[in-house]
Each structure stands twice: as C-alpha cells, then as structure tokens.
Amino acid sequence: MPLVSWAELPENARFWCFVADRPWTADEEVALRTGLDALCAAWAAHGAPVYAGYQLVEQRILALAADEARTAASGCSIDSRMAALRALGDQLGIDWLGRMHVYVDHGQGWERLKLAEARQLADGRFLDSVATTKGDWSPIRSVAGSWLTPATSN
C-alpha cells in the first residue's frame, strides 16, 4: 500500500499542486479524500508502486507529492494520475486545471482572482501552488516578496 501520510514524505519528494475553481464542501471533501486515498494507493510506474501522499488546503488547494527515491513517477504514471484527478473533478464538478487564477486573502477571506489581477497586489496572503519539491512549498504565503509580485528595479 504506497499511500503515505504527508508528514512521512521526505522534503525532496516531487511536488504537484492543483487549484480548484471553487471551494469544495465538507461532504465533497469526504469524497475527495476517498478518491485521493484510492489514487495514491493504486498509483504505479511500470508496475512499481509510487509512494505518494496529499494535502488539502483551505478547501481550494490539492497538493500531491511522491517519494521518487523509492519509485520515480514516469510519464505514463503521471498521465494515469491526471486521468484519475480529472475523473474525480468531473464527479465533484471541480476544475483542477485552471492555472490562470489564484486565491488571495486581504483579511476578508479567500477571493479567487485572475492571475493578472493578483500580480497587481502589494499585500495580503495567497494560496501558493508553485514549487518543485514538498520542502519548497509553503501553502499560504505573503503576497509581498513572492513570485506574484513583479521584481522592481532601482
């Protein structure tokens, strides 16, 4: 059974993040966890189990990580994972692949903004979806000084 708890995955585990086009409900989270448990338990690359786990953040972010020191996630295994995520999204009515939006909080709760709008902000916090490894990822970050804010030149 290759499903691994998030805490047990090493910091250098390969990382993928998906942003939901809307927050999911508590009932949908139960179905989502059931589907993700099944996905991680069955995920294989060339017949070898992929040791993977996930984390859900603020009913909007799905993070997946795989311990590639044990089994590398191959192209075909990543394709099968994406098919399972799409099917789970279709079941729940959630689009995971809209990469042009970000959730930002200015103290009023999470607001979904177009990426171009979010890049104009100077403060607040956001749900981050960009990292290469589990250890590089911080789910909730300050807008200031992040990849969201354009670099300034002096």
User: Residue 149's pLDDT is what?
Assistant: 84
- Domain assignment of residue 1, yes or no: no
Name the pTM for this structure. Answer: 0.89
Surface-to-core class of residue 141, CB atoms within 10 Å of its CB (0-12 exposed, 13-18 middle, 19+ buried): middle
Contact 11, 133 (CB under 8 A): yes
**Predicted pLDDT of residue 79:** 84
Same domain, 73 and 132: no
Q: Which segments of the chain have a pLDDT < 50?
A: 153-154
Per-residue model confidence (pLDDT) at position 152: 54
Asked if 2 and 127 touch (Cβ cutoff 8 Å), the reply is: no
Extract the tokens encoding 35. 């589907």
Residues 87 and 107 in one domain: no
How many independent structural domains does the chain possess? 2
pLDDT of residue 151: 62
**131 and 71 in one domain?**
no
For residue 70, is it within any domain? yes
By C-alpha distance, which of 26, 35, 36 is closest to 6? Answer: 36
Residue 3 pLDDT: 84
10 Å Cβ neighbour count for 8? 10
Q: Which residue has the tokens 């311990």?
A: 67
Task: Give the pLDDT confidence score for residue 46 in this predicted structure.
Answer: 87
Q: What is the pLDDT of residues 49-59, one digit of tens each?
A: 889 999 999 99
**Is residue 154 in a domain?**
no
Asked if 18 contacts 66 with a C-beta cutoff of 8 angstroms, the reply is: no
| Residue 64 · residue 5 · CB < 8 Å | no
Beta carbons of 57 and 127 less than 8 angstroms apart: yes
Q: Which domain holds residue 128?
A: 101-142
**Residues 125, 10: Cα–Cα separation, whole Å:** 26
Q: Is the dihedral of CA 7, 12, 16, 17 positive or negative?
A: positive
